[in-house]
A and B are shown apart, each in its own frame.
Chain A
């Protein structure tokens, strides 16, 4: 893809002896919303700052829409960023905040303000231009920050954990607003978050990072269904990681030896051998112990009813399994003997 919005080639950022970003290469497609996801300290924010030019890479090459920007400062990169704190200038009103980039870029004040006003209207902020940031609600501040970034028509729009300062109810709406806006305007967006739900909900593409490197990159579905390793499996939602032996996996259905029994399960093609397997809690079915279909025998140690779902901890020969079933499925008492049938397993790289 030569028209990548952002392309990293062997990029490293070292702070002293620490490599916050370590030899990272990727190409992010234009017009897509790409999420950088990972636990704190994984290098996702540093990666975003490298795209923005707020930090300069120690080594490697960074391109934005095909142009090498590795040595350019933030001011010269034609990107825009929405900060975690929104970073609205407290001494300027909303209109001045939104027209700031245009004014420092050399636009006439009148022209800049009319453009800013149009952008505010587009984001449903009409009539707030004269307010100071401190006089706005959190959600409004967030939208002003977005308006301030969009008005510059950036090649890439960057979001640094934009929802973390909003309360839980607002979060869902704002993230959908961001996604709608991105689709409507065909923006190239890079979005940093540590919340996997948020990442799954809004992204075209997710880059999972760990210790300054890319752990895995793919669509939300790919990452959830086919995590490359235990870290990704665990980070992208709950996962049971068990040791097992693949007897035969030609693709489609596989036979796997697990805790002394052999189960049939869905799995991609894999060579036979002992390895770690990830099983999503909701892909395990629980059957009464006397069910003829067979499965991994176990005993319910803990059972909880959560309204929409039921959660179980089941002790089996393969280890303690976390199981989530629909509330409508038959319930099992604590202490009951059950059979676990994993509908799907994912082989993990060592």
Chain B
């Protein structure tokens, strides 16, 4: 796209924001539109003459100044960049300076007097977008970004969005942790971070609970170890064990991906709770007393391992299959026996993959919120403690922020460990040259051990998911009342015909919102992710590394931390989004973005750069090349990103539990609410519906483009891969 047309478009958008769109946020919802062009929906042009928004006048000259040159067909780079940057700065400055309760900075009070305003609205958003376009075309006209206005706009735009929705919330958490009673208090931060609540070791001495950091670490380590071992057993059986159970193995890897994370917990309660099925049998047959052992570390651990083991399996299976058979054959020609070969060749080659699987389980356990919430009981981990610090009776954002910082540090620590430790230890054992050996079968003893671990676990997994399947259709599975009924589905999803369809079931609202939010956020995530991948992989521009870092940053932030940071950052003007559906969409887009970006970068690595260059030498500009060459070739990656973000928008609970409102509730949060109210069967019935919807989506997409990779963190850490 030419710089001139982009600049004109940008100015037109800014003008639209100035002249037509409501400048402030619509507090009363869409109904406020009725008062346009006055009242709450007034555009800035209607507010300015009255003098009540006199401090916004500078925007007018800033946006009018580029007009003559653009109308005359010139692109004055310096002027455009300056005006655009000025407008953006002014909008945010005035927004922060003058808030709901008047002037925020006491220094300004004498000059401004008694003024107040609500948050920025669509008009302001359009002005900001237009101004960003002006900055981009200005920079491009001055020779930056290879002189390409389109690339400049993508970079400026995505950097702005990432700053606003990833970086600023994180900064807000940092600042919230050091602020007490509205004042800067480093001592408060120190006290909050070192609180005994987090670090106490009382559990070693007596039967009191330990600090929440120790709980979290213990849980994460156990989850990592157990899921890795289980995954390894399955991987060895699948790749080397000559077992005919691959469809069952595949099903087991798909199920956790399309199941909301805490649904497994429901099933565990039904099986092992105080009135659970298994607990009941144990009591009747063996006289084992009913206890609440499932609530706490054992239950949460079980639930997390159920979710993580399949992912470890996928990772490790790839690693086992990637070991070149000729290596093992070489060892056996040198006289090594089967078990010796395994111990001296296979196992050492697997170690990096095992480390990767462990860290993956560790990090996922840190981030998990749904299972500890449902099953934790008195056993608190950081993610739940953060939630209760915000949502609980003692509403303490400072404490929540400090705990979020701790969780963030643990997560970053794990990622740093991964980069340091695994990054350097990659073995490529399958080269491009054909390796025609036959994989060595498992040593018999080892196969027996793997089988002894894997088959019971398989049965257990089947039982857990079977409960979910059955639970919605029987009267009260929690008490063993197994008579068939539609009751729970009717409660949730009743439809009546009274002059048309009436959705009377209590779950419809949240289901519709969930599908809408997922359907809106998925294309946005995929689109932005693929464009960013293209920028990062194919273009070189100043700040590329920083942009990449910001993109990947949100990958490492646990959902609970994101939730808290959004609440803290977007609860007050100038950017007030809490309570809207928009904040849910934004949250999903930026949380799922890194996966789209990674997928896009991986797919682009398969597309030779000479294709872009060929297009360029034939006169194709960036837009043409992207549209006609790159995007068609990236179709599988785009669809995978779509599937991933749709599924995750439907199953996520950790971040959005902070962000939902009565008007915009989500399915997962609704289900958690039903569990807390003890309506286990309804929760299970609803989960079944969710799983069916996602299964339909995922299978539909697989039908369209073949197997899609949809695990959130399953992609990055494959330590062994076939050479090109």
A residues sitting closer than 8 Å to B (CB atoms) are: 52-54, 56, 71, 73-77, 79-81, 83-85, 87-91, 100-101, 104-105, 148-149, 152, 158
Contacts and interface: CB of A to CB of B under 8 A. Distances in A.
A87 B608 contact: yes
Max chain B C-beta neighbours (<10 A), residue from A52, A83, A104: A104
Given A91-B632, A91-B633, A104-B624, A81 B617 contact: yes
16 contacts: A52-B617, A71-B147, A73-B146, A73-B148, A74-B617, A75-B616, A75-B619, A76-B619, A80-B618, A85-B610, A89-B629, A100-B615, A104-B619, A104-B621, A105-B618, A149-B617
A52 B612 CA distance: 13
Interface string B289-301: 0000000000000
Contacts of B633: 90-91
Contacts of B613: 52, 54, 74, 81, 83, 87
Contacts of A77: 617
Nearest to A78: B619
B637 to A, nearest CB: 14
B462 interface: no
A185 to B, nearest CB: 18
Contact of B628 (A73, A90, A100): A100
A158 to B, nearest CB: 8
Nearest to B612: A87
Given A87-B610, A89-B614, 12 more contacts: A53-B617, A54-B613, A54-B617, A73-B147, A73-B148, A73-B616, A87-B613, A89-B629, A101-B618, A104-B621, A152-B618, A158-B617
B719 to A, nearest CB: 30
Interface residues of B, number: 21
B576 to A, nearest CB: 43
A53 B621 CA distance: 12
Contacts of B619: 75-76, 101, 104-105, 152
Given A91-B632, A100-B628, A148 B147 contact: no
Given A73-B146, A73-B147, A148 B618 contact: yes
A89 to B, nearest CB: 6
Contact of B617 (A56, A79, A89): A79
Given A83-B613, A89-B629, A75 B620 contact: yes
Interface in B137-177: 143, 146-148
Contacts, number: 74
A141 B613 CA distance: 17
B603 to A, nearest CB: 13
Nearest to B147: A73
Contacts of A56: 146
B89 interface: no
Q: Is the interface of B mostly helix, strand, loop or mixed?
A: helix
B616 A53 contact: yes
B495 interface: no
B711 to A, nearest CB: 28
Nearest to B148: A73
A77 B620 CA distance: 11
Nearest to A103: B628
A256 B618 CA distance: 56
Interface string B598-635: 00000000001011011111111100100011001100
Q: Is the interface of A mostly helix, strand, loop or mixed?
A: loop
A84 B613 CA distance: 12
A75 B621 contact: yes
Nearest to B146: A73
A72 to B, nearest CB: 9
A319 to B, nearest CB: 41
A99 B136 CA distance: 32
A100 B620 contact: yes
Nearest to A91: B632
A54 B613 CA distance: 7
B41 to A, nearest CB: 43
A108 to B, nearest CB: 15
Max chain B C-beta neighbours (<10 A), residue from A54, A74, A101, A105: A74
Interchain residue pairs A-B with the least CB separation, the first 7:
A101-B618, A87-B614, A87-B610, A74-B616, A104-B620, A81-B617, A104-B624
A101 B629 CA distance: 12
A76 B611 CA distance: 17
A85 B610 CA distance: 8
B628 A83 contact: no
Contacts of B148: 73
Contacts of A75: 616-621
A90 B614 CA distance: 12
B611 to A, nearest CB: 5
Contact of B614 (A53, A83, A105): A83
Contacts of A89: 611, 614-615, 629
Contacts of B620: 75, 100-101, 104
A101 B616 CA distance: 9
B617 A104 contact: no
B401 to A, nearest CB: 42
Max chain A C-beta neighbours (<10 A), residue from B147, B615, B617, B629: B617
A100 B618 contact: yes
A88 B615 CA distance: 10
Contacts of A88: 614
A104 B615 contact: yes
Interface in B617-673: 617-621, 624, 628-629, 632-633
A243 B624 CA distance: 60
A85 B608 CA distance: 9
Nearest to B616: A74
Contact of A84 (B610, B621, B632): B610
Given A73-B147, A91-B633, A80 B617 contact: yes
Contacts of A73: 146-148, 616, 621
A80 to B, nearest CB: 6
Contacts of B618: 75, 80, 100-101, 104-105, 148-149, 152
Contacts of B629: 89
B616 to A, nearest CB: 4
A104 B1 CA distance: 12
A276 B115 CA distance: 89
A127 B115 CA distance: 76
A104 B628 contact: yes
A221 B611 CA distance: 37
Contacts of B617: 52-54, 74-75, 77, 79-81, 149, 158
